Amino acid sequence: MRAQLRLADQPPGTDEDMRLNAVFAALSDPIRRAILGQLDGHDRLVSEIAEAFTISLQAVSKHIHVLVRAGLVDQERTGRISRCRLDAGPIFDAAVWLNRYSKYWQDQFNLLAVALEDIERERLSKPPPVRRGALRRVKRLGAGPRKKDL
């Protein structure tokens, strides 16, 4: 078992904390996320999963073991055949944990909305800029016919 670092004044993690740690650690690797993507809605053999990668079957198997320990994959063995199935429950638990911090994201979105409204209000309160070419045309229209038109 791998030793975990913690601050001296911090109590050891609960079982829930340890499960979340395992889920986030498993999700931190792009190969493991790709494996979960393959399993989304499909049971697959380990050999089928490995076909999508340029790494060895043994390396894919190690990634799958990390996912199994995190509770993200159920693995069923029949002789030498190993079938994998996604278990999205731990992902839901991680999403619930992350959602606790959505109030901070929402505050940022609210600040952005206010800033955008201020910019739009300022833009609407100013007259549109006059282009030089448009100003010349206006002067010509008010000045009567041009010499070349006579």
Q: Between 113 and 14, whose confidence is greater? A: 113
Q: What is the pLDDT of residues 22-53, one digit of tens each?
A: 999 999 999 999 999 999 999 999 999 999 99
pLDDT of residue 100: 86
CB burial string 1-30: b at 16+ within 10 A, e below = eeeeeeeeeeeeeeeeeebbebbeebbeee
Among 97, 90, 82, 98, residue whose Cα is nearest residue 36? 90
Strand partners, 74: 85
Q: Between 4 and 58, whose confidence is greater? A: 58
Q: What is the pLDDT of residues 74-86, one digit of tens each?
A: 999 998 889 999 9
Could you tell me the residue ranges of all domains in the chain?
15-93, 102-142
Per-residue pLDDT band at 55 (split at 50, 70, 90): very high
Cα distance from N-terminal residue to C-terminal residue, the chain: 98
Q: What architecture (CATH level 2) is domain 15-93?
A: Orthogonal Bundle (1.10)
Per-residue pLDDT band at 108 (split at 50, 70, 90): confident
Per-residue pLDDT band at 17 (split at 50, 70, 90): confident
pTM for this entry: 0.61
* Alpha-carbon span 127 to 15, nearest angstrom: 63
